[in-house]
Amino acid sequence: MPTEKLPTENPERENQTGEQPIQEPNIHQGMNEGFDGLLVIGDPHIEGRQPNFRKDNYPETILNKLEFCLEYCRKHNLQPVCLGDLFDKPRDNPTWMVGRLIDMLSRTPMIGIYGNHDCGDPALNKHDSLSLLIKAGGYRLVSASDFWTGAVGGRRLVVAGSSYRHPIPTEFETRLVPPLKGDGSAPLVLWLTHHDIDFAGYESGRFAAHEITNVDLLINGHIHRRCDPIVAGKTTWINPGNISRRSRSEANKIQTPTAFSVKVIGKKIKVGQVEIPHEPFEVVFHEQAAAAALESSASGFVSGMKELLERRTDSGAGLKEFIDHNIGQFEPDVADQINRLVLEVTEDGDSSKLTSATTTGGAADG
């Protein structure tokens, strides 16, 4: 796999649709002719800490889920594709974890886009952990001008995409795609996105689905729950959700961690579901007891805090929830002091993460 260069485009300038210069495509097709399909993996959010109220060893669990996907790809001859947010924290990830990923991906390299959690600045750069995987040849970014293509099911298949903050186009120019020997028909085109798309039931939707000329299927990451597909002209928009449950939410009680397979059958794209091995919800998450109990006295507050200490989470999730529920009983200046202390102990020094978590909302990052 060739060494990947990091994107240098200014996403703001790219937003001016129609004004971007036509770039010569950078196509990698060397070893792509033998795949039977793709396996599309949503938002792994690999990290070295426990998210929210999870009580398992999350770093190991999520690496095992990714390894399951890669193993599945080897067994079924599929190319793994990531929808962005491979990492939860863009930077300062544990070295052992990045090393393990380099090992895993050297055996089975992935292609994909980057999400809001992969980059500390608006665009991915050399400070972000994902850039190491790219340099190591384990992860190849696809974009509008640098797409992946291979022969799948006797058809030319293209995977291109729009990383976080990159515009979703209205057209893909298929004349840039080399034809397949013995098949004169137009290529099948898959577009990856990591955007707040206006799927039914997703309250933070900002981008309406639309037909993209020459694109058959758009697959979106970022929104962690599965959404009903939208058919927009000849382009179908789908949202598989992510492969792990990161928060103790009602939505996650019914969500089954799933990756989506993409195959070509009878000259058409066929999407299937691959369930990721997972434990029951109750086994994965701490029960709600401590945070839900509304304590009315200061001593109750203290004993509640004690219980929280015993089941502490890395992210301070339980603490924040507990304080929110109980802060009302204190005088404003005391409440203010408590809030300030909470912020101090839960602050992970990564303000970009705080911003992205706020702007994308709990729905996307659930």
Rounded-to-integer distance, Cα 364 and Cα 195, Å: 9
| Shortest spacing between CB 203 and Mn ion, in angstroms | 16
Q: Calculate the CA dihedral of residues 274, 315, 288, 255 and round it to 10 degrees.
A: -10
CB 75 within 8 A of CB 34: no
| Shortest spacing between CB 60 and Mn ion, in angstroms | 20
The residue within the footprint of Mn ion, chosen from 4, 85, 146, 196 (CB under 5 A), is 85
**Residues 128-167 contacting Mn ion, CB under 5 A:** none
Cα–Cα distance list, 265 to 91, 231, 268 (Å): 41, 19, 5
88 is an interface residue for Mn ion by CB under 5 A: no
Half-sphere exposure of 279 (CA within 13 A, CB side): 13
Rounded-to-integer distance, Cα 322 and Cα 220, Å: 34
- Site map (CB under 5 A) of Mn ion, residues 30-59, x = contact: -------------x----------------
* Residue number, nearest CB to Mn ion: 85
Measured from the CB atom, the residue of 152 and 317 that comes closer to Mn ion is 317
Please name which of 22, 27, 349, 358 lies closest in space to residue 187, comparing C-alpha atoms: 27
| Shortest spacing between CB 115 and Mn ion, in angstroms | 5
Pair of tokens at residue 187: 């290529």
Pair of tokens at residue 194: 């990591």
341: part of which helix (H) or strand (E)? Answer: helix 332-346
Within its chain, how far is the Cα of 78 from the centroid? 19
Specify the 3-state DSSP secondary structure of 149: strand
| Shortest spacing between CB 130 and Mn ion, in angstroms | 13
CB 142 within 8 A of CB 38: no
Measured from the CB atom, the residue of 65 and 155 that comes closer to Mn ion is 65
| Shortest spacing between CB 45 and Mn ion, in angstroms | 6
| Shortest spacing between CB 85 and Mn ion, in angstroms | 4
Rounded-to-integer distance, Cα 169 and Cα 202, Å: 22
Measured from the CB atom, the residue of 83 and 176 that comes closer to Mn ion is 83
Q: What radius of gyration do the chain's Cα atoms show?
A: 22
Measured from the CB atom, the residue of 41 and 157 that comes closer to Mn ion is 41
Measured from the CB atom, the residue of 86 and 134 that comes closer to Mn ion is 86
| Shortest spacing between CB 246 and Mn ion, in angstroms | 8
> Pairing between strand 155-162 and 258-265?
unpaired
| Shortest spacing between CB 117 and Mn ion, in angstroms | 6
**Of 75-83, 85-93, 144-152, 325-333, which part binds Mn ion (CB under 5 A)?**
85-93
**Residues 342-361 contacting Mn ion, CB under 5 A:** none
**Of 80-88, 195-203, 246-254, 316-324, which part binds Mn ion (CB under 5 A)?**
80-88
Q: Site size for Mn ion, by CB under 5 A?
A: 2
For Mn ion, the binding residues (CB under 5 A) are 43, 85
